[in-house]
Amino acid sequence: YAKPWRYRRCIFEGAKLIHFCSVGLVDSPSKKAHKKALEIAKEKGLIISFDVNLRINLYPSIKDCTNTVLRFMKYPNIVKLTDEELYVILGAKTTEQGVKILFNAYSNIDIVFITLGDGGAICFDRDGNSIKVEAKKIDPIDTTGAGDMFCACYINYVLNNGLKIRINNHID
């Protein structure tokens, strides 16, 4: 595991974005290294992306897992969750309710992506706008890495276009 004191500010020179997920946030040196890297990234003004990617079995309990994820929500500008993760972490009854909770609790979050499996995905911005994109119907062979590919696509977009995403639908 990376050791926090090995992070030098110079490793972020020229960087625009840092991306992380909750797998590295289990109690270990990796968690401390993530915290230090995210603090430096925030200090340097990098865009921070968080793919929640819950792996509850890596934590002592569901509560420990959700508390850890919520403690790290103070860093990202962009958060990607599945609809199920949103309900587990925030206890929300609906996607819209969960997204409102995130935006109200964390002023640093600008964009929230909710993936819905074969139902597609919804993108929400802080201004109350959203857009849903339906998934194409396919017969998947293996879905391993689908969330990672989703993140890679939005990261590419943000690196080329910034944090403003054109969204046409407004939610209340």
Q: How many Cα atoms are found within 13 Å in the side-chain-facing hemisphere of 128?
A: 3
Residues of the chain above pLDDT 70, percent:
90
pLDDT of residue 161: 86
Q: Where are the alpha helices (DSSP H) in the chain?
A: 29-43, 62-71, 83-90, 95-105, 146-161
Is there a contact between 159 and 21 (Cβ–Cβ < 8 Å)? Answer: no
Number of C-beta neighbours around residue 166 at 10 A:
9
pLDDT of residue 171: 45
Q: Which of 138, 145, 100 shows the shortest CA–CA distance to 120?
A: 138
Phi (first) and psi of residue 74, to 5 degrees:
-75, -5
pLDDT of residue 64: 94
Beta bridge partners of 19: 49
- List Cα–Cα distances, 122 to 45, 81, 142, in angstroms: 26, 10, 22
To 5 degrees, how large is the angle CA 13–CA 28–CA 74?
55
Q: What is the pLDDT of residues 29-82, one digit of tens each?
A: 889 889 989 999 999 999 999 999 999 999 999 999 999 999 999 999 999 999
